[in-house]
Amino acid sequence: MRYARQEDLQKLALIMQGSAEGISLSDIEREFRVSRRTAERMRDAIRNAYPQIEEISGEIGRKYWRFPPGSLGRMAEPTLDELTAGHRAAAIARREGDELAAETLERLLVKVQAMFREDRRRTIAADLEAQLMADGVAFRPGPRETISSEILSALREAILAGAMISADHRARGTAKLSRNTRLGPIAILFGQGRQYLLAWSEYQDDLRLFALAGFERISLEADVYERPKGFDLQEWLSESFGVWREEPHDVVWRFLPEVADEAAGYVFHPKQRAERMEDGSLMVRFRAGGRQEMEWYLVRWGDHVEAQFLEVSGTSSSVATENDVCKQ
């Protein structure tokens, strides 16, 4: 039986050309979420259509397939949607203060478009301009902090190298300057107008968040920093609403019936549980710290939401409408 989904076959061919080691049947199953038999039919369809495909034997008799460089010709050229997505990613990076990533993406996109034939370059340029204007992501208003590209570059280098840094950092709240602070950088967190570095602090012997705008100097140290064993960034982030760290609450938000349909279209927390009630309201439950950020966020829902925050120990709680929350 032949496999006939042309889009999947084209994607598989491109993946095979982009892989130096080749693609196995297990890779096809995982990438396309198909059964073993379907993966075999896809491989056979590619082999029938492109006789230049190479078969490589790996460990334990496992086989891999790949294309020699340039085998697919112009089929490997990116589409308008793919180019638009790249420009959109650059615009989002710039809007959130990651100027270095934005410039890197834009250089990559220029190189990609430079490989097009002249007639395709003219066509794609006009279509791309129209698509980006319709998207509007680069023009969305909102405050953001300006972060030095030298600071970002130094932090990324330290993270990739697994190196400790020595930094001069000014605290956001007190404006106090700490000199020669030794940190083990883990990740740069962008979004919501403010940007942070998650790092291990030698002085506090714990993971802490540092405002990127507060760094005035960074230098890489010779010492190596190793992440804590088993550390999962996504799991760590899910313990908070936003980025502030504090003791978690069991949170219950009740969205009134008139806004329940709208609220149902949001994911407020990656581990939330949502339940539609008989009166038409929506109950959303999750556990996280960051109560102040929750209250700031809930302001936009006006008096159409009721919020409940319970200590995980169950010793205290507070129930309020949003109008009351805003006054606390």
Amino acid, res. 243: V
Q: What was the pLDDT predicted at 243?
A: 63
C-alpha 251/C-alpha 96 separation (Å) is 28
318 vs 93 pLDDT, higher one: 93
Q: Between helices 99-114 and 118-135, what is the axis angle to 10°?
A: 150
**Ramachandran sector of residue 182 (left: φ over 0; alpha: ψ -120 to 50; beta: rest):** beta
**What CATH topology corresponds to 6-75?**
Arc Repressor Mutant, subunit A (1.10.10)
Q: Is the pLDDT of residue 317 over 50?
A: no
Instruction: Look at the pTM and tell me if it is higher than 0.75.
Output: no
CA-CA-CA-CA dihedral for 130, 136, 138, 140, to nearest 10: 160
Domain covering 249-325: architecture = 2-Layer Sandwich (3.30)
Q: What was the pLDDT predicted at 301?
A: 93
- The domain locations on the chain are 6-75, 77-139, 149-236, 249-325
CA 277 to chain centre: 33
**Ramachandran sector of residue 226 (left: φ over 0; alpha: ψ -120 to 50; beta: rest):** beta
Q: Is the pLDDT of residue 105 over 60?
A: yes
Provide the β-strand partners of residue 201.
183, 206
Strand runs labelled E in the chain: 54-57, 63-66, 163-170, 177-189, 196-201, 206-211, 215-224, 249-255, 273-276, 282-288, 305-311, 317-321
Amino acid, res. 246: E
Three-state DSSP class for 110?
A: helix
C-alpha 320/C-alpha 309 separation (Å) is 9
Three-state DSSP class for 148?
A: coil
Q: What was the pLDDT predicted at 87?
A: 84
pLDDT in tens, 294-304: 888 899 899 99
C-alpha 63/C-alpha 66 separation (Å) is 10
CA 118 to chain centre: 35
pLDDT confidence bin for 328, thresholds 50/70/90: very low
pLDDT confidence bin for 109, thresholds 50/70/90: confident
* Other Cβ atoms closer than 10 A to 237: 15
- Lowest mean pLDDT of 138-147, 154-163, 231-240, 310-319, name the range: 310-319
pLDDT in tens, 254-273: 999 999 999 999 888 888 99
Domain covering 149-236: architecture = Roll (2.30)
CA–CA distance from 22 to each of 9, 18, 143, 201 (Å)? 15, 8, 45, 42
Domains 149-236 and 249-325 fall in the same CATH topology: no
C-alpha 287/C-alpha 275 separation (Å) is 15
Three-state DSSP class for 51?
A: coil
C-alpha 243/C-alpha 188 separation (Å) is 12
247 vs 245 pLDDT, higher one: 247
